[in-house]
């Protein structure tokens, strides 16, 4: 039976040797995707109580949209619910309806907003979803367990931790 989860749920991601990265559901997106924040804090045990207050109030090291498969199948175990003092801003993306046409802003839920200026369009990314396995590899690379790949830079928050 799939695990049910909600916004602001905190979950543990296996890193290595009994250590777990802490993640949090920022937004339940469309189509089985989820925007997650991954923090630098580690939990040392899956069974031990996770002190949610230990999560940093600052920005996470990764803010990434991924499929929710690992949460639903229990691999990323939900351990509580925590809302930070200041919620993270939800990313705004760019989208284009026809090649060479104007760019418009796109929200994480797929809704489309106003037309973007050329300068705004160069600063925004297109919406992408990454596999949970890639998120796990990025966490291990951040910890120095695996080599850093350039694709991991796309998962990083704008403010490096």
Residues 50-67: pLDDT tens digits? Answer: 667 666 666 789 999 999
99 shares its domain with 133: no
73 shares its domain with 142: yes
120 shares its domain with 143: no
59 shares its domain with 113: no
Instruction: List the one residue out of 48, 55, 44 whose CA is nearest residue 10.
Output: 55
pTM of the predicted model as reported, rounded to 2 decimal places = 0.86
What is the number of domains present in the chain? 2
Instruction: List the one residue out of 73, 64, 40, 74 whose CA is nearest residue 130.
Output: 64
**pLDDT at 161 > cutoff 80:** no
13 shares its domain with 75: yes
CA atoms of 102 and 32, how far apart (whole Å): 29
Residue 75 belongs to what domain range?
1-85+128-161
CA atoms of 24 and 20, how far apart (whole Å): 13
122 shares its domain with 134: no
Say which DSSP state 134 is in: H
């Amino acid at each position: 039976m799939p695990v049910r989860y909600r916004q602001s749920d905190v979950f543990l991601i296996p890193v290595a040797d009994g250590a777990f990265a802490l993640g949090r559901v920022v937004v339940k997106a469309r189509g089985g995707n989820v925007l997650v924040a991954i923090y630098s804090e580690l939990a040392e045990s899956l069974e031990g109580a996770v002190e949610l207050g230990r999560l940093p109030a600052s920005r996470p090291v990764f803010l990434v949209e991924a499929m929710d498969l690992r949460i639903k199948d229990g691999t990323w175990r939900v351990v509580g619910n925590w809302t930070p003092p200041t919620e993270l801003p939800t990313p705004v993306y760019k989208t284009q309806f026809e090649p060479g046409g104007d760019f418009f802003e796109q929200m994480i839920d797929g809704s489309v907003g106003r037309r973007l200026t050329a300068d705004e369009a160069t600063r925004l990314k297109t919406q992408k979803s990454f596999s949970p396995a890639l998120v796990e590899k990025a966490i291990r690379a951040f910890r120095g367990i695996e080599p850093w790949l350039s694709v991991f830079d796309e998962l990083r928050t704008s403010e490096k931790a």
